[in-house]
Structure 1
Amino acid sequence: MDTPILLPCPWCGAPAAVEVYCPPSPYEPAPTEYFINCSHEGAGCPANLVFVGPCLTLAEAARRWNTRAPPAASR
């Protein structure tokens, strides 16, 4: 699987971080979930309070992370 290009954090400019979660299930395979958030550790970035996910594919998580609202002046 190709790793998608991720835009930096829209708040602080730090690189994006991908997290992959494979929930354990004794009955049937659970789908893998993909999350993307800011790689900046600590409370210094507002993005630490929000994240993208869960998504069923890394491509969908990347599309959602890379989608940015236009600047207020152009709305």
Structure 2
Amino acid sequence: MPSDAVGRFLAALDPGHRESVGGRPRAEQERLAEAWERELASDDELDTLDELSPSAAEAEAARRVLGREA
């Protein structure tokens, strides 16, 4: 399991998005990872989901972050 925020963010993405985001500049990956961490920390629904399935909560937060980017 990756220990840095970018690695954890990339791991939370589905394979297609992981490849796409992985090809972006590091600064952009870091910006997205920071947004992902804020999403995880600030959303109460994700807190509840995290108790049931941490990986599902991380994946949902990643989808939300990328959805805002589109």
- Could you tell me the TM-score, scaled by structure 1's length? 0.30
State the structure with more CA Rg. Answer: 1
TM-score by length of 2: 0.32
Q: Report the structure, 1 or 2, having the larger strand content.
A: 1
More helix as a share of residues: 2
